Amino acid sequence: MKEPVPCDVVEQAARDALKKRGVKIEDIADIVYEMQAKYSDNLTMEDCVESADAVLCKREIQHAVLVGVELDVLAEKNMLSEPLQSLIDTDEGLFGVDETVALGSVFGFGSIAVTTFGYLDKEKIGKIRELDTNKEQVHTFLDDLICSIAANASARLAHRMRDREENRGSQDIKKREDEELIG
């Protein structure tokens, strides 16, 4: 039987993949801030960075990042077979699998994540817009993955802010978070 891959190896690979493709945690945090600032007067960038980082600890997100970035990179190197090569390379509007992979990883964070994902997918703000308009590289999957991570981090933060407003202790918040996390 083949050995399972240790989860710290998977997490590091997903974080490295984002970094190699030019996406920093701060880029995602900027989007989260824009999404959540209107709902909270005392939201800080630090909160947004922390939330984006926490989302990257989830296996479902890591797996989606690894699959999506791999396909972008292979398409960039012309290494896929046709017609998939052209579908991904040209970011064919009706392809849809890039959105499906990214959407699959927002359900774990609830309805705010799902609706925020839809909004970001349409509006393409900040880094998402930059990736979408950069025609030098293939970002067919990456832009949707960033929508997903930012949407999840926004939803997570919305719930944390409420917990904070209700003066829940950090232990209580952590316990609730651990129970909510799938994978």
Given the rule CB under 5 A, which residues bind Mg ion? 98, 140, 143-144
Q: Residue 165 CB, nearest distance to Mg ion (Å)?
A: 36
What 3-state DSSP class applies to 177?
helix
Position with the least CB separation from Mg ion: 98
Cβ closest to Mg ion, residue 47 vs residue 98: 98
Shorter beta-carbon distance to Mg ion: residue 58 or 139 = 139
Q: How far is the CB of 129 from Mg ion (least distance, A)?
A: 12
3-state secondary structure of 119: helix
Q: Which of 14, 105, 97 is nearest to 60 (CA)?
A: 105
The answer to whether 80 and 88 are in contact (CB under 8 A) is: yes
* Residue 28 CB, nearest approach to Mg ion (Å): 16
Specify whether the CB–CB gap between 131 and 138 falls below 8 A: no
Q: Cβ closer to Mg ion: 96 or 183?
A: 96
**Tokens found for residue 23:** 């996406």
- Nearest CB to Mg ion, comparing residues 47 and 144: 144
